[in-house]
Amino acid sequence: MNLYTGQPNIPDIESFLAKSREILETKRLSNNGPMVKELECRLAEYLGVKHVVTVCNATIGLMAVVKLLGLTGEVILPAFTFIASAHVLQWEGIKPVFCDVDPLTHNIDACKVEGLITGKTTGIMGVHIWGRPCPHEELAALAHKHDLRLFYDSAHAFGTSYKSRPIASLEEISVLSFHATKSFNTFEGGAIVTNDDELARRAKLICNYSFEGEDNVTGLGINAKMTEIHAAMGLCSLDNHQQVLEHNKNVYMYYKQELSKIEGISLIDYPENEKHNYHYVIAEIDEGTFGCSRDTVHSSLKANGILARRYFYPGCHRSDPYKSLYPGLSFPNTESLCDRVLALPGGGGIDGFGQIDRIISILDGVRRIRT
């Protein structure tokens, strides 16, 4: 049986079908319907934030935030992130200024941010990679000192915390992804989250073409709305989320225990004193000690029907259009991670520890053949 990194968590099918039926019978399919309203209310409570504005996906949500914050010129972001973080800026006519990351946390290295600030810089986009928090205090201090807007791509950070604060409530505004491959999913979807009443009001407007009332358009807007069927999936996923968290943690812990017996491969840590979704099972392979490269492991797993992912190879700065637009960039920590990291099937992709044993025995086997 094939195993995939990123296989979705499926909530109770009967509940979802009942909600789908209700949507069809009431003929309310979109435009801030009752299921979207209910989901936004329940998510605000669950995530510990004042306002949740659901969107059709996090990429569009981030584009809306870039507009809301009035960003122009240049925005600093990590080079080690999913390409959407950079595309959002470039798409909006803003130069993404890549910054190297901390090799331990995989997050943007705050010490390297200040040197990238120019007269054109208007903002910093932090990305909570794997749901582990960015160095928030340092980034907030820099933003304050240089009068920049700080916002977060929290695509991975559903339900996680930083110093016991919900990660989604750090700084003025943040965007979560509810893509099928995330721990909480609405098929496709996401949310803009904020504690600021005015930003929330403007976010809601801008995501609906900036309509205020029936025919009064108040400015530039976009269609970023979530539909009722996506919200229905969200409501069912929320009912199921505690089970997902427990399952994810068990899967992660089992991997951790078993991989600790093999030299040269380690899993990233999720500190016990914070809330995590344990969604990403991220291994780092040290070729010298392990005995073969990450790419050899990746191919061997694939040959055995196991699709692990080389997130975020080769790094934004080495992907087009960025490598052509901004040639010659080099970020040693990002590049090293791009060569070492392997996202293993976790969460919804795993039904039992036997599957993890199989993955580990393939990993171990390939190493033994090579050494």
Interacting residue ranges for ligand T4K, rule: CB under 6 A: 4, 6-8, 57-59, 81-82, 84-85, 127, 153, 155-156, 177, 179-181, 190, 307, 309, 311
Asked whether 338 and 313 are in contact (CB, 8 A), the reply is yes
- Give min distance, CB of 85 to ligand T4K, in A: 5
366 three-class SS: helix
DSSP label at residue 265: E
Task: Report the residue number, 64 or 142, with the smaller CB distance to ligand T4K.
Answer: 64
Q: How far is the CB of 369 from ligand T4K (least distance, A)?
A: 25
Q: Please report how close the Cβ of residue 101 comes to ligand T4K at its closest, in angstroms.
A: 12
For ligand T4K, the closer of residues 69 and 291 by Cβ is: 69
Q: Nearest distance from residue 260's CB to ligand T4K, in Å?
A: 26
CA distance 24 to 304: 42
Q: Are 205 and 212 in contact (CB under 8 A)?
A: yes
Task: Return the number of the residue (184 or 252) whose C-beta is nearest ligand T4K.
Answer: 184
- Answer whether 132's CB lies under 8 Å from 273's CB: no
Distance of CA 247 to the CA centre of its chain: 19
Residue 13: CB minimum distance to ligand T4K, A: 15
Q: Is 58 helix (H, G, I), strand (E, B) or coil?
A: helix
H/E element, 341: strand 341-344
Q: Which of 345, 154, 175, 347 is nearest to 245 (CA)?
A: 347
Q: Where are the beta strands (DSSP E) in 60-217?
A: 74-78, 95-99, 121-127, 149-153, 161-162, 165-166, 174-177, 190-194
Question: For ligand T4K, which is the closer residue by CB, 252 or 313?
Answer: 313
Nearer to ligand T4K, 219 or 305 (CB): 305
Q: How far is the CB of 263 from ligand T4K (least distance, A)?
A: 29
Residue closer to ligand T4K by CB (options 82, 270) is 82
**Residue 208: DSSP 8-state:** B
